[in-house]
């Protein structure tokens, strides 16, 4: 498995670090926006100087949901392919930089239009709310930049394959390629609605827009998007955590199989975000509910692999009893502790996700703050804590520094602070959501409705949790700044796990891209063709744009 | 492909549970009629006020204990915004929007649907308990989104 | 699946399956949590019908 160099080439490291800097700047600004939101929503504070709650909310969603994630993921994956499939060629690196600058310029343009109040449309930008064209153009540049980076990674992978005929590619490279294929296939949907619908319409070239088609294209993209966030966390869990704890990977083939299942099943599922909307036949909704449940399977496999990795390691160190192996895990190592806590939070996160996707059960929770609570467990805890845990070795590896004991201790504290804050905030969100409290809304008592007054204690709990989380953000920013600029010089390992002896050899079939992409496309066509034609054939008159903020 | 015996047990149990969930949902949806709101009727969003039944929004009795509640949504209000429903009534709620996407949620009930320009959203609910429910917009629609609300009172007949 | 107790099979590396009792217990606990959550919300839905 040990192909290529042990250390990421300094030039590749610079490319990865550029992405990571942008990601953490986004975390700082987006986190501040989040703090303001929970304070407003408690009913105890108001924003100064006429700043709109919804401008802040748009900022929060775009910076954390789109910018932090995409930049960290692409930076991490460039480092991972460089580490496992060898130093990038000058050409690949050049295109990586082009991708980076397109994404950064796009982010700056989009952020500008949000901050001047021309784009308070939230990060889902549902038509017929109409933002300034600059908002959509900026987002387009972000997506196009990410495509270029994706193709750069594909080119690097192809070069490795050519140099190693008949060999199984390094696991982290394989996983990065799967994730970028997933991203490319799904972002075609959002690109279609932005390029062919939203931009011409916001520039005034066309008058009207088909709202349901636009939403459907968005959600064709919107759910695989969350898997694009999750898979890099799974990369760290499968291929890196075993090395950090000093153990072995449970199985290379099962890891690849779960990634292929994600590639196949995570796209034809967008209707589960549209379960309570008109214009779509419920039978087609149900079909996509079934496909959504299939994408749970690779996560069930992952849960088993993770526990098995930990148990095998613990037992190799002499652990006995049913759970004795837990005590052998390196609890004092933040590189393990942060992602491990992220894994634990994925249990309630997954449970909530099953409810969301459950056809008519969606009526109980749709667009309530339960949903916000759900993705603050998935993205803002499971994924983000895993990324933090990754940053604790990736940044010093790339900057030629070492994490001090003090910083490691601070990172442990950071993880605990994050967990406490999130337990407060997310639980309150889940329970208030079951009572009916809506998401994406400023503070309101709805005319002093008795029901709405019942939600206020939960909203105060959210503010307490959100404030604790903001402290968590400050802590991680201190750690990251230290690791990037101030930590002592030295060598930090980029850990890559080896496979356990008893695991079987990995078959080559997982790299039969024509087969897997072919199956994915067939499923997409089955799930979407008929309802999409229905939408267009039975389309109501289109909508003009509205600017209601 | 080789799999540990316990992993097989786990996947059998896990995937089995998924299929049980799907079966429960499917029977509920297709045999017992608890489909999520999925009305396919279209409407010209600029002519909602002229299109029946939305030209005269409000509660209409359609049969023995059966009613239609027709509501127009627009930024940032529902018309009408106060409704009294007799206890035990089976009410088909129809909602249409004149401008952007809105939500239509009756807090504490299963009435929860997206309201999108060009479509009528419809859901039938029986109100068996006396009480007051708040209706609110749960999809962001602009600066006054959180002020968009209405009230339903279920009263003794 | 063939039983793999025999260590002298051609694949010398395939030994006895590792002991994963704790793993099975952990994932089953996870599974019961999923079922509990789902059933709870399902009954809330039925209650509100």
Residue C12 contacts A, CB cutoff 8 Å = no
pLDDT (tens digit per residue) in A298-340:
999 999 999 999 999 999 999 999 999 999 999 999 999 999 9
Shortest CA gap B66–chain A (Å): 22
Residue C6 contacts A, CB cutoff 8 Å = no
| Residue A374 known to be catalytic | yes
Whether residue A120 contacts residue B138, with contact meaning beta carbons closer than 8 Å, is answered with no
As a whole-number percent, the residues of chain B with pLDDT over 70 amount to 99
C-alpha–C-alpha distance, residues A266 and A423, integer Å: 28
Does the beta-carbon distance from B18 to A293 stay under 8 Å? yes
Q: What is the mean pLDDT of chain A?
A: 95
Residue B12 contacts A, CB cutoff 8 Å = no
Is A428 part of a structural domain of the chain?
A: yes
Residue tagged 């034609």 (tokens): A533
C-alpha–C-alpha distance, residues A382 and A234, integer Å: 10
Which positions in chain C touch B4 (Cβ < 8 Å)? Answer: 17-18, 20
Would you place residue C11 in the very low, low, confident or very high pLDDT band (cuts 50, 70, 90)?
very low
| Residue A164 known to be catalytic | no
Residue tagged 């097989």 (tokens): B8
| Residue C18, pLDDT score | 82
Shortest CA gap C19–chain A (Å): 7
| Residue A327 known to be catalytic | no
Does the beta-carbon distance from B118 to A286 stay under 8 Å? no
Task: Identify each DSSP E strand in A347-467 by its residue range.
Answer: none
Whether residue A528 contacts residue A268, with contact meaning beta carbons closer than 8 Å, is answered with yes
Would you place residue A6 in the very low, low, confident or very high pLDDT band (cuts 50, 70, 90)?
confident
| Residue A376 known to be catalytic | yes
In A268-378, where does DSSP find H-type helix? 282-294, 297-316, 334-356, 362-365, 369-377
Whether residue A285 contacts residue A542, with contact meaning beta carbons closer than 8 Å, is answered with no
C-alpha–C-alpha distance, residues A190 and A140, integer Å: 9
Q: What is the mean pLDDT of chain B?
A: 96
pLDDT (tens digit per residue) in A478-523:
999 999 999 999 999 999 999 887 777 888 899 999 999 999 999 9
Shortest CA gap C16–chain B (Å): 10
C-alpha–C-alpha distance, residues A330 and A464, integer Å: 31
pLDDT (tens digit per residue) in A385-429:
999 999 999 999 999 999 999 999 999 999 999 999 999 999 999
Whether residue B141 contacts residue B100, with contact meaning beta carbons closer than 8 Å, is answered with yes
Determine the 3-state secondary structure of C7 from DSSP. Answer: coil
As a whole-number percent, the residues of chain C with pLDDT over 90 amount to 59
C-alpha–C-alpha distance, residues A548 and A121, integer Å: 9
A506-542 burial, b at 16+ Cβ within 10 Å, e below that, comes to: beeebbeeeebbeebeebbeebbeebbebbeeeebeb
Q: Which of A308, A350, A365 sits opposite C20 (nearest CB)?
A: A308
CB neighbours of residue A169 within 10 Å: 23
C-alpha–C-alpha distance, residues A81 and A232, integer Å: 12
Whether residue A177 contacts residue A149, with contact meaning beta carbons closer than 8 Å, is answered with no
| Residue A194, pLDDT score | 97
Residue A501 contacts C, CB cutoff 8 Å = yes
C-alpha–C-alpha distance, residues A390 and A238, integer Å: 13
Residue C23 contacts B, CB cutoff 8 Å = yes
Shortest CA gap A361–chain C (Å): 6
As a whole-number percent, the residues of chain A with pLDDT over 70 amount to 99
Fold of B45-155: Immunoglobulin-like (2.60.40)
Mean pLDDT of A195-208: 96
Residue B133 contacts A, CB cutoff 8 Å = yes
pLDDT at B157 over 90: no
| Domain positions in chain B | 1-35, 45-155
| Residue A505, pLDDT score | 83
| Residue A156 known to be catalytic | no
| Residue A69, pLDDT score | 97
C-alpha–C-alpha distance, residues B77 and B57, integer Å: 13
Long-range CB contacts (within 8 A, 24+) of A160-165? A160/A3, A160/A85, A160/A86, A161/A511, A164/A3
C-alpha–C-alpha distance, residues B36 and A288, integer Å: 14
DSSP assigned state of B145: G
| Residue A49, pLDDT score | 81
Does the beta-carbon distance from B3 to C20 stay under 8 Å? no
| Residue B2, pLDDT score | 79
Would you place residue C15 in the very low, low, confident or very high pLDDT band (cuts 50, 70, 90)?
low
pLDDT at B42 over 70: yes
Neighbouring chains to C with at least 3 Cβ pairs closer than 8 Å: A, B
Does the beta-carbon distance from C22 to A311 stay under 8 Å? yes
CA distances to A57, A226, A370, A410 from A437, in Å? 17, 24, 8, 36
| Residue A139, pLDDT score | 96
Shortest CA gap A427–chain B (Å): 18
Whether residue A496 contacts residue A243, with contact meaning beta carbons closer than 8 Å, is answered with yes
pLDDT at C7 over 70: no
| Residue C3, pLDDT score | 44
C-alpha–C-alpha distance, residues A80 and A172, integer Å: 6
CA distances to A6, A15, A163 from A159, in Å? 19, 19, 6
| Residue A439 known to be catalytic | yes
Residue B139 contacts A, CB cutoff 8 Å = yes
As a whole-number percent, the residues of chain A with pLDDT over 90 amount to 96
Compute chain B's Rg from CA coordinates.
Answer: 20
Which positions in chain C touch A360 (Cβ < 8 Å)? Answer: 45
Is A186 part of a structural domain of the chain?
A: yes
Here the CATH number for the domain that contains residue A127 is 1.20.210.10
DSSP string across C20-34:
-HHHHHHHHHHHHHH
Is A4 part of a structural domain of the chain?
A: no
Number of alpha carbons in the 13 Å side-chain half-sphere of residue B102: 31
pLDDT (tens digit per residue) in A248-257:
998 999 999 9
- CA trace torsion A119, A120, A121, A123 (10° rounding): 90
User: Which of these is catalytic: A375, A458, A494, A532?
Assistant: A375
| Residue A504, pLDDT score | 79
Does the beta-carbon distance from C41 to A304 stay under 8 Å? no
Tokens read off for A528 = 């979407």
Tokens read off for A544 = 């003009």
Q: Which of C24, C28, C49 sits opposite B34 (nearest CB)?
A: C49
What is the ipTM score, two decimals?
Answer: 0.97
Mean pLDDT of A46-56: 91
Number of domains in chain A: 1
DSSP string across A200-226:
HHHTTSSS-B-HHHHHHHHHHHHHHHH
| Residue C16, pLDDT score | 67
Distance from chain centroid for Cα A85: 24
A419-431 burial, b at 16+ Cβ within 10 Å, e below that, comes to: bbbbbbbbbbbbb
pLDDT (tens digit per residue) in A280-294:
999 999 999 999 999
Residues 316-375 of A with CB under 8 A from C: 321-326, 347-348, 350-352, 354-355, 358, 360-361, 363-365
Would you place residue C13 in the very low, low, confident or very high pLDDT band (cuts 50, 70, 90)?
very low
DSSP string across B71-127:
EEEETTEEES-EEEEETT-EEEEEEEESSS-EEEEETTSS-EEEE-TTB-EEEEEE-
Is A476 part of a structural domain of the chain?
A: yes
Is A508 part of a structural domain of the chain?
A: yes
User: Which of these is catalytic: A93, A223, A272, A366?
Assistant: A223
Is A546 part of a structural domain of the chain?
A: no
Taking alpha carbons only, the member of B65, C8, C18, B136 closest to residue A447 is B136
Interface probe with B: pick from C11, C18, C20, C22, most Cβ of B within 10 Å: C20
Residue A239 sits in which domain range? 10-537
CB neighbours of residue A234 within 10 Å: 24
């Amino acid at each position: 498995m040990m192909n290529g160099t042990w250390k990421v080439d300094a030039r590749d490291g610079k490319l990865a670090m550029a992405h990571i800097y942008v990601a953490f700047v986004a975390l700082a600004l987006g986190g501040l926006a989040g703090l303001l939101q929970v304070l407003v929503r408690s009913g105890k504070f108001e924003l100064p100087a006429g700043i709109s709650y919804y401008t802040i909310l748009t900022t929060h969603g775009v910076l954390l949901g789109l910018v932090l994630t995409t930049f960290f993921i692409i930076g991490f994956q460039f480092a991972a392919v460089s580490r496992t499939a060898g130093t990038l060629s000058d050409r690949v690196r050049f295109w990586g930089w082009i991708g980076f600058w397109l994404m950064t310029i796009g982010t700056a343009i989009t952020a500008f239009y949000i901050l001047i109040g021309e784009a308070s449309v939230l990060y889902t930008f549902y038509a017929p709310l109409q933002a300034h064209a600059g908002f959509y153009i900026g987002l387009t540049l972000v997506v196009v930049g990410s495509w270029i980076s994706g193709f750069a990674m594909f080119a690097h992978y192809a070069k490795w394959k050519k140099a190693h005929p008949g060999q199984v590619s390094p696991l982290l490279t394989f996983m990065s390629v799967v994730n970028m294929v997933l991203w490319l296939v799904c972002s075609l949907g959002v690109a279609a609605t932005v390029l062919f619908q939203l931009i011409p319409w916001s520039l005034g070239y066309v008058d009207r827009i088909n709202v349901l088609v636009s939403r459907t294209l968005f959600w064709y993209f919107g759910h695989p998007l969350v898997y694009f966030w999750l898979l890099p966390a799974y990369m760290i869990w499968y291929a890196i955590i075993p090395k950090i704890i000093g153990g072995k990977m449970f199985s290379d083939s099962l890891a690849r199989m779960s990634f292929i299942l994600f590639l196949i099943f995570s796209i034809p599922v967008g209707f589960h975000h549209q379960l309570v909307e008109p214009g779509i036949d419920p039978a087609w909704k149900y079909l996509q509910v079934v496909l959504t449940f299939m994408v749970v399977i690779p996560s069930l496999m992952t849960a088993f692999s993770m526990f098995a990795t930990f148990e095998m390691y613990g037992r190799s160190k002499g652990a006995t009893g049913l759970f004795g192996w837990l005590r052998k895990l390196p609890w004092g190592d933040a590189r393990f502790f942060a992602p491990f806590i992220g894994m634990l939070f994925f249990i309630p996160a997954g449970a909530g996700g099953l409810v969301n996707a459950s056809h008519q059960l969606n009526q109980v929770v749709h667009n309530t703050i339960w949903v916000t609570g759900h993705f603050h467990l998935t993205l803002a805890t499971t994924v983000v804590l895993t990324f933090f845990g990754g940053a604790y070795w990736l940044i010093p590896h790339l900057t030629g520094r070492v994490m001090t004991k003090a910083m490691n201790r601070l990172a442990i504290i950071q993880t605990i602070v994050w967990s406490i804050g999130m337990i407060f905030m997310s639980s309150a969100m889940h329970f208030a959501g079951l009572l009916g409290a809506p998401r994406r809304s400023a503070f309101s008592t709805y005319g002093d409705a008795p029901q709405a007054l019942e939600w206020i204690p939960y909203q105060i709990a959210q503010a307490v949790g959100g404030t604790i989380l903001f402290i968590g953000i400050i802590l991680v920013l201190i750690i990251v700044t230290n690791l990037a600029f101030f930590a002592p010089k030295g060598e930090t390992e980029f850990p890559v796990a080896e496979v356990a002896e008893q695991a079987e050899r990995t078959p080559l079939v997982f790299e039969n891209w024509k087969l897997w992409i072919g199956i994915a496309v067939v499923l997409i066509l089955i799930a979407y063709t008929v309802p999409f034609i229905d939408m267009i054939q039975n389309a109501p008159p289109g909508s003009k744009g509205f600017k209601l903020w | 492909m080789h799999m540990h015996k316990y992993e097989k047990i786990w996947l059998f149990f896990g995937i089995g549970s998924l299929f049980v969930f799907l079966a429960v949902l499917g029977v509920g949806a297709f045999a017992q009629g608890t489909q999520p709101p999925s009305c396919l009727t279209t409407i010209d969003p600029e002519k909602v006020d002229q299109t029946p039944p939305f030209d005269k929004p409000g509660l209409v009795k359609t049969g023995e204990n059966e009613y239609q509640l027709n509501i127009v949504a627009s930024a940032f209000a529902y018309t009408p915004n106060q409704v009294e429903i007799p206890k035990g009534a089976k009410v088909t709620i129809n909602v249409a929007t004149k401008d952007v996407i809105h939500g239509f949620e009756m807090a504490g009930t299963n009435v929860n649907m997206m309201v999108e320009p060009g479509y009528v959203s419809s859901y039938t609910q029986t109100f068996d308990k006396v009480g007051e429910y708040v209706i609110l917009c749960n999809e962001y629609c602009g600066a006054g989104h959180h002020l968009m609300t209405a009230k339903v009172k279920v009263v003794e007949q | 699946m063939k039983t793999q107790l025999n260590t002298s099979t051609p694949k010398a590396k395939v030994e006895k399956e590792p002991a994963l009792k704790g793993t099975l217990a952990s994932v089953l606990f996870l599974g019961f949590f999923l079922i509990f959550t789902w059933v709870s919300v399902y009954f809330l839905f039925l209650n509100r019908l």
